[in-house]
Structure 1
Amino acid sequence: MTDSPRRVLVVCTGNSCRSVMAEALINNLGKGRYQAFSAGSRPLGRTNPGAIETIRRHGFDPGEPVSQSWNEYADQPFDYVITVCDSAAAETCPLFPGQFERKHWSTPDPSHVEGTEAEIEAAFDQAFGMLRERVETELL
């Protein structure tokens, strides 16, 4: 048996919001048992400030997420590759070496919600809560 953390890649199209929140949740809740990264098929090149604020508001360390292409990880092995948006789940991912389990955690995108500040914050909290529940029930 190895003490190495299980490696997880969380994929979303833009890699700016949901995948960033999931990455932080896995790294924080996994307590060293998991090492999560996030990437996108068409990364925006910036993280969504609302995602970072939500992670912090819930008492977690967001780390230093970067919006980057999934091609950055094409030659690295993972235990899990998790898609968090439906469009990324339908795309053909790069080939990652080794055996890994695919998971799809369909999560609404809070970055496209319009409304009051409270409504937008509620949308981010809802997405964060959905992702946290998936992490806690499917990984931990």
Structure 2
Amino acid sequence: MRILFVCTHNRCRSILSEALAQHAKLPHIQAASAGSDPAGEVHPDTLLHLAEAGVSTQGLRSKSLMEVEDFQPQMVIMVCDSAAQSTCPTWTGEALEVHWTLEDPSKIDDEARRRLAFKECIQEIQTRILKLSQAIEKSAENRDALIIELERLGADVVDHSSLNS
């Protein structure tokens, strides 16, 4: 399943999610990320904490939604509230839209607290990716079954295909 992780600036949470999903090497997940208003650069602490976790940072960069159009996601996961409020582009019309609220660790001023917040965010994303993978596997990629599994895990899900019917 092609999964696009989206946040506003594509410099922290969506980048963490993309990198961690790729690092997990799960057979049924292909990951990419983008921002609704990309910053143009990845937050330095994002790269630092991924490297410390043993996750490759090669090729990671802040991208716009237009730059990943060819990816054609089957699922779009919004990882921050401000991105969830933006208008979804038309090319995600058939994609499931899932909302994962994640606190932005890069916004914390105190260095020790920011470091801890990055570690906690990485752990939370890893847990969610594993549960997402299990939900995809359990549902055998049946859309209705997948929605039920995702909601059971506490995710907010919007099925754009049912809105277009």
* Deviation of the 1:34 alpha carbon: 2.0
Question: 26-35 or 39-48, which moves further after superposition?
Answer: 26-35
* Deviation of the 1:76 alpha carbon: 4.2
3-state SS in 2 of match to 1:14: coil
3-state SS in 1 of match to 2:103: coil
* Deviation of the 1:139 alpha carbon: 2.4
1:122 lines up with 2:123 in the alignment: no
Unaligned runs of 5+ in 2: 135-165
Match of 2:9 in 1: 14
3-state SS in 2 of match to 1:121: helix
Among 88, 95, 103, the residue aligned to 1:108: 103
Q: TM-score, with normalisation over the residues of structure 1?
A: 0.87
Q: What is the letter of the counterpart of residue 121 of structure 1? A: R
Among 123, 129, 138, the residue aligned to 1:135: 129
| C-alpha contact (below 8 Å) 1:46/1:67 kept by paired residues | yes
3-state SS in 1 of match to 2:98: strand
| Identity between Structure 1 and Structure 2 (%) | 36
Q: 1:18 to 1:124 in 2, by over 3 A?
A: same
* Deviation of the 1:93 alpha carbon: 1.5
Instruction: Specify the structure having the higher radius of gyration (Cα).
Output: 2
Segments ≥4 residues shifted beyond 4 Å: none
- 5 Å-filtered alignment, 1:47-62, equals 47-62=42-57
* Deviation of the 1:132 alpha carbon: 1.1
| C-alpha contact (below 8 Å) 1:12/1:84 kept by paired residues | yes
Question: 90-99 or 129-138, which moves further after superposition?
Answer: 90-99
* Deviation of the 1:62 alpha carbon: 2.4
RMSD: 1.6
3-state SS in 1 of match to 2:90: coil
* Deviation of the 1:52 alpha carbon: 1.0
- Of Structure 1 and Structure 2, the greater helix share is in 2
1:90 lines up with 2:89 in the alignment: no
Unaligned runs of 5+ in 1: 1-5
* Deviation of the 1:98 alpha carbon: 6.1
Match of 1:3 in 2: none
**After superposition, what is the alpha-carbon deviation per residue over 1:24-72, rounded to whole angstroms, capped at 9, x for unaligned?**
1111113443221110011000001111111111122223111111122
Among 37, 42, 51, the residue aligned to 2:32: 37
Measure the CA separation in 1 of the matches of 2:83 and 2:34. Answer: 10
